[in-house]
Amino acid sequence: MDLNPGNSGTISDYKTQFDRYSSCIKDIATPEVHRVFTWLYQGGKKYVGEYMKDIPGSMIHMNASEKKKLEDKMPTEEMDITMLYRFLQYTCGLSEPDKGIWNKPQDESQKKSLEHSLYQLKQKRNDLAHEDQKLKKMSNDELAAKMDEVKELCNIILKEAGSKSGKSPQDVALAIMELEENFQKTMGVTAALIAKLGRKEKQAANQPEMDFYVSPILTYKGKYLPLADIFTVPQANDTQGSIIFLTGDAGSGKSTLCEYLDWQWTNDKEEIQELQEYDLLLLIRCREVCTRDVVRLLKEDLLTRTMECCNPYRIPELIRNLKILWIIDGLEEATREATSLIRSLLSKDNYSSHSFLLASRPEFKYSIMQDLEQHEYTEVTLNGINPKDSFQSMVKFSQIDTDTSDLERFMSNFKRLDKNIQTELQNPLKLRVAIKFWSMTNRKSFKDSSLIELYSSLEESQIESLAKKLTGGMVTKDDATRKVKIWFDYLCQIAFELAAAKYILIINNATLDKLRRKCEELQIVLYSVCLSEFLTSNGQGSYQFLHSTQQYYFAAKYAADVWKASKGKANTMNLFDTLQKGTPQNSMLHFYEILLHMVSILQGSLDAVQVSNLIKLFQYTIDRANATPKWFEVIRKANYHTFFLETIGDIIPKLWFVSDQNIKEACCLIEYKQPEHIAIKLYNDPKNSGVEDLLYALAKAKSWIIVELYLEYHCRVMKSKDESDSLLKIICQESSKCCILGFSGHLSLEGCKILNMNNASQYCKALHLKVSSPQSLSTIYYHITKYELLANLQLMFTFLIYDKVNINSNTPTFKNTIVDLHFYNLIDNQVQNSVKVIQKLGKSFNSITVYKLSQSGATKFVQLLMQKEVKSNAFLRNIVDEDKGEIYLKNLGPLPLQYDIKHFPWVWVRSEKHR
């Protein structure tokens, strides 16, 4: 008996509506009834005809033709619904055939029963034979209605039979997806069906549960942002669709967050309500993308089963008509194909209704966003997790034995650390490695270390721990240590080979067998202990690396040994072949991290020729023209070695992107290479950061340099009186050859005059200024009205009195500029004066944010703005939760309000219930 029915029917070519409906019954409904029969059949391997002979009354209603089919042992999958219906009544443990639930249901529950649904399908099959003339006169609408009825009945019988037979939810979901696919072929493809099938395909993929997920620490413009609000942060009225740029350090949990959002949508969870408004959510891992073609990506990687139902030429049209959220993880690891694909997805003409969440490490944000400069986007930062909240899940994940007192001891240890180190250990990966190191060293105190230093320390402890377990009998400690080191070196080789084959984190069964055989070769009996010492397990015999960084580190140790053996003197292609062992060249796009760790391991032992060869290998992996942060990272890992600076200076692109993490690298490199364009964006206090030295070097340049200087710390920290005057003045002085394309910071009243200097006023396109006095606002306004190229302006008001602002303007000033206004210290008695100031600044804004207004003050503020016909894409309220020490931004809607002003107080109060 065929236990996997449902695929034997073929979809007919349709000449009439009747043909289409006939195919619906014969080619779709009949196989599904047969599927239900196979799920529920109680006769085991016995042929159904033989089984029925022993059931009283089962053959009474069978006609001669049907009995002959049973005598000939006709396969059940070739029978029609009428015969299958009779089998279901007698051989499948359902209600007795004479019960009314079959054809005369008594209540609503019986009408939706398996028995009655099967009866209705049988009747529809009979109608084909007895009412064919009537059915041949069906209209399009009548056909659609009848086919929807058949599909609904098939859904019911699959769900009910699945429950009765004990089928898993995944088996039922797959069956329903096959049903949907077949109906789609018959009814024609629609965007709605693509969305429905896509979700079912993702559900059938059986994702691992993520109920354990610990909410991350997210910030937006320096303020705490609840995960539930990530899709409600304001943006300009961007016709290209919503773009959220998520940044976080390596190991901060970006990939896990992306997977969690995918899991939430797939399983129809409601923790993030806005997520379920999307028709489809598609998760892309940039390192795995091998095509520039969106259709091919969908067909081969994302929605293979769903796309099989579609004419490939119609797929772009169908997905354009859906509201899709694309989650794109690991942009810093993007292949050439991934980069082209992302540009295509963000194209205004192609996917204007789609939204995007792009995840990247922070030092790569500005280089990546260069590709998106024509788009508006929102920046959200992932700062890790609260160590206390995550301790228990961490130790469980790392398979560490703990008792109830461990959390207290760990947190006591943790609280004694330097505050900066505590911030570092909010990084889930660093915390996880630190916890494991702490557990393996008898709960001794740990200090801040880089990930590589942590892995290196952990490796020593793990080898020692494993050797101790193997010592005994005829095995000495030295012999055990030697064997463990050999096995660990082999694990490093395996890590490299998996990366070469594009397997990141995953260790397949064939590879586990290799590791087991290596244990046998070394006569190590504790195979599973070896694995669990260095890797993490899901508890079902499957292992994976703790994090991609761990795999890259292990792989780098192997690659460094290969390099040392070749003495690094072969030509580039020979080195490439030595490392790759025949793997295609495009795989090198995944090897940046491995080569980076190789630099840390080898940097003290390399001569100029070896450095040159190693940099040539890097060039295979750093293939984007604006990927300067990667070269800065190489310089840092090389400990600023002269050979590296000289070699990289010859090949680094002309556009540099500098963040807090790579100021020193830029300062060192600028002695060897001058950029043509540099974007500097700092979130931390610039004092003692070295940025002053970098700016002086730029000001002394021999040829013109385009400069963007964003001192976000001076804008973000409201109570700080720090000024940006001295830093901006360095690059704006008359002798400087710097053109200021963008600037953010806090200028004193005297410093505001710098805005009038030619190298700022003639070129500047973006300004983000903290304004601390009415006089400063007047001066800023006077100067920037001359900025012909200004495209984006943010003003953050921290002063208290607004009637002192002296601006003479009767017409909107910034007609072609996106303007955001922040009123940090605006209180109720200054509302009227502030509205007068807003009027003079313009009539249309991207956002207006208030921080200290009461409900009545905010209501008056909104009323006055509406009376003055001021428009804003978003009106935002800042909320401080003093108990939690958290700050929220709530969007109360655009201005003018899209609801009656009398409801505004209710909306204001409701916004306080941010949970």
Q: List all residues 6 or more positions away from 906 whose beta carbon is below 8 Å from its beta carbon.
A: none
In this model, does residue 586 exceed pLDDT 50? no
Tokens 């009545």 correspond to 856
In this model, does residue 5 exceed pLDDT 80? no
Average pLDDT, the chain: 80
Confidence band of 176 (pLDDT split at 50, 70, 90): confident
Residues 435-475 have pLDDT tens digits of 666 665 555 555 545 556 666 766 777 787 778 777 766 77
Q: Which residues pair with 769 in a beta bridge?
A: 745, 795
User: In which element (H, E) is residue 708 found?
Assistant: strand 705-711
Q: Give the pLDDT score at 697.
A: 92
Confidence band of 239 (pLDDT split at 50, 70, 90): very low
699 and 670 Cβ atoms separated by less than 8 Å? no
Range in 195-199, 372-376, 596-600, 642-646 the model is least confident about: 372-376
Residues 326-371 have pLDDT tens digits of 999 888 777 778 888 887 887 755 666 788 898 987 766 666 666 5
Phi-psi region of 567 (alpha: psi -120 to 50; beta: other; left: phi over 0): left
Residues 720-764 have pLDDT tens digits of 678 899 999 999 988 888 999 999 999 999 999 999 888 888 889
Q: Give the pLDDT score at 327.
A: 93
What is the distance between the alpha carbons of residues 484 and 353, in angstroms, rounded to a whole number?
55
Confidence band of 417 (pLDDT split at 50, 70, 90): low
250 and 429 Cβ atoms separated by less than 8 Å? yes
The torsion of the CA quartet 491, 492, 494, 498, rounded to 10 degrees, works out to: 140
* Nearest alpha-carbon partner for 600 in 540, 553, 534: 553
What is the distance between the alpha carbons of residues 174 and 98, in angstroms, rounded to a whole number?
33
- The DSSP-derived string for 612-669 is HHHHHHHHHH---TT-HHHHHHHHHHTTT-HHHHHHHHHHS-SEEEE-GGGHHHHHHH
In this model, does residue 584 exceed pLDDT 60? no
Amino acid at position 10, single letter: T
Q: Give the pLDDT score at 4.
A: 36
The helix/strand/coil state of 605 is helix
Q: Give the pLDDT score at 183.
A: 75
Q: Give the pLDDT score at 281.
A: 92
Q: Give the pLDDT score at 463.
A: 80
Q: Give the pLDDT score at 419.
A: 56
316 and 293 Cβ atoms separated by less than 8 Å? no
350 DSSP assignment = T
Mean pLDDT over residues 376-401, rounded?
65
Residues 649-706 have pLDDT tens digits of 998 888 899 988 899 999 999 999 999 999 999 888 898 889 999 999 999 988 899 9
Q: List all residues 6 or more positions away from 232 whose beta carbon is below 8 Å from its beta carbon.
A: 274, 890, 891
Residues 96-125 have pLDDT tens digits of 888 889 988 888 888 889 999 999 998 888
Confidence band of 793 (pLDDT split at 50, 70, 90): very high
What is the distance between the alpha carbons of residues 319 and 849, in angstroms, rounded to a whole number?
35
What is the distance between the alpha carbons of residues 93 and 461, in angstroms, rounded to a whole number?
61
The torsion of the CA quartet 812, 813, 819, 821, rounded to 10 degrees, works out to: -80
In this model, does residue 7 exceed pLDDT 60? no
- The DSSP-derived string for 853-865 is --HHHHHHHHHHH
What is the distance between the alpha carbons of residues 53 and 177, in angstroms, rounded to a whole number?
36
The helix/strand/coil state of 228 is helix
In this model, does residue 579 exceed pLDDT 70? no
Q: Give the pLDDT score at 706.
A: 93
- The DSSP-derived string for 734-767 is TT--EEEEEEEEE--TTGGGGGGSHHHHTT--EE
According to the per-residue pLDDT averaged within each range, which of 57-71, 397-411, 769-783 is highest? 769-783
What is the distance between the alpha carbons of residues 115 and 97, in angstroms, rounded to a whole number?
9
Q: List all residues 6 or more positions away from 393 whose beta carbon is below 8 Å from its beta carbon.
A: 212, 214
Q: Give the pLDDT score at 683.
A: 85
Residues 139-173 have pLDDT tens digits of 767 877 888 888 899 999 999 999 999 888 888 88
pTM assigned to the model: 0.59
What is the distance between the alpha carbons of residues 283 and 276, in angstroms, rounded to a whole number?
15
Range in 140-154, 225-239, 247-261 the model is least confident about: 225-239
Residue 251 token pair: 């190991």
Confidence band of 430 (pLDDT split at 50, 70, 90): low
* Domains (range + CATH), the chain: 17-188 (no CATH), 218-382 (3.40.50.300), 387-449 (no CATH), 467-623 (no CATH), 674-799 (no CATH), 804-915 (no CATH)
First to last CA, the chain: 55
Residues 284-303 have pLDDT tens digits of 988 788 888 888 888 888 88
2 and 39 Cβ atoms separated by less than 8 Å? no
Range in 693-707, 766-780, 873-887 the model is least confident about: 873-887
The helix/strand/coil state of 45 is coil
In this model, does residue 829 exceed pLDDT 90? yes
* Nearest alpha-carbon partner for 306 in 203, 208, 161: 203
Q: Give the pLDDT score at 307.
A: 82
What is the distance between the alpha carbons of residues 572 and 564, in angstroms, rounded to a whole number?
15
